[in-house]
Chain A
């Protein structure tokens, strides 16, 4: 039986899809089998970030409505053979996902794959609730910025109230993944400190992904950053996060400005 992980945030644009793709790919690179499921019906993007946008024949809604078998709808990644995608439907809306349909699909995936990663839509409505419904573990993607932290707090409240696990009185493992961390602004004292974010949200940290060109470039070419630029700080942060998800203990350092003091001053003055 695999583990179901929801990647969620409340706020849009914080990096849920990018993080789902990168963590999924990193887990798959360790040899585990991974199914990435896009819950953002009507606004799918996981296919694009994975470079599989032209290979989507059947989607999540087709499977729920019985127009395709789950095995037909799963797209196997061309670069990592243990990585699979179940795309969201682009032409429907979120009401096309039914409670029972989602339960069946996630249940079947859990039997086949080591990890089922549910990429949640933004917001706190039906789509987001369905994405978290069957999760065993949650990754709350948060930017060190007031509106993102506030929305994360709201989502954490929903994780405690609306998931199958918590309804049954079982524990729900929740982690914060901080993305778009900017060491330069952090050094200036103009970005919420990691410790403050963790204290406010009262959750353990699974990784810190610095704001980076590598992540943007990876999306441009349709590759998870762990494949596109494996030596970049962001790729390493995701690879480390994947190892922590697997239960390994990996040291976690807050990214710092790497330029020399003079170089930094020079650049700012320029």
Chain B
């Protein structure tokens, strides 16, 4: 009850902390608002050199937690035919 009252009372510190995390991230991105898109294209280009990639099966996500930012790239690779001809 007291805790609940306390929580209800103070939303300002939450606002401050959320802003600090967000702005640290946004400032790092200044001048590169398209960073995620650029990374996506270049990473895909490297992989395409070796494996066919269906652009619809690529999932890029930027995330952050406290002071760390992560970039996760999920690429579903097309089924590759085993190189039978070469083996024969």
Residues of A within 8 A of B (CB): 145-146, 149-150, 153-154, 157, 161, 186, 188-193, 196, 200
Contacts and interface: CB of A to CB of B under 8 A. Distances in A.
Contacts of A153: 23, 26-27
B27 A157 contact: yes
B11 interface: yes
Contacts of B12: 186, 189-193, 196
Contacts of B18: 146
A173 B20 CA distance: 23
B11 A193 contact: no
Given A189-B12, A191-B12, A200 B30 contact: no
A154 B30 CA distance: 9
B10 interface: yes
A200 B27 CA distance: 12
B9 A200 contact: no
Contacts of A188: 9-10
B9 A189 contact: yes
B37 to A, nearest CB: 19
Contacts, number: 41
A146 B19 contact: yes
B65 to A, nearest CB: 19
B83 interface: no
Interface in B1-39: 9-13, 15-16, 18-20, 22-23, 26-27, 30-31
B10 A190 contact: yes
B15 A200 contact: no
26 contacts: A145-B15, A146-B18, A146-B19, A149-B19, A153-B23, A153-B27, A157-B30, A161-B31, A186-B12, A188-B10, A189-B9, A189-B10, A189-B11, A189-B12, A189-B13, A190-B9, A191-B12, A192-B12, A192-B16, A192-B19, A193-B12, A193-B16, A196-B12, A200-B16, A200-B19, A200-B23
B16 A196 contact: yes
A190 B27 CA distance: 26
Interface in B27-67: 27, 30-31
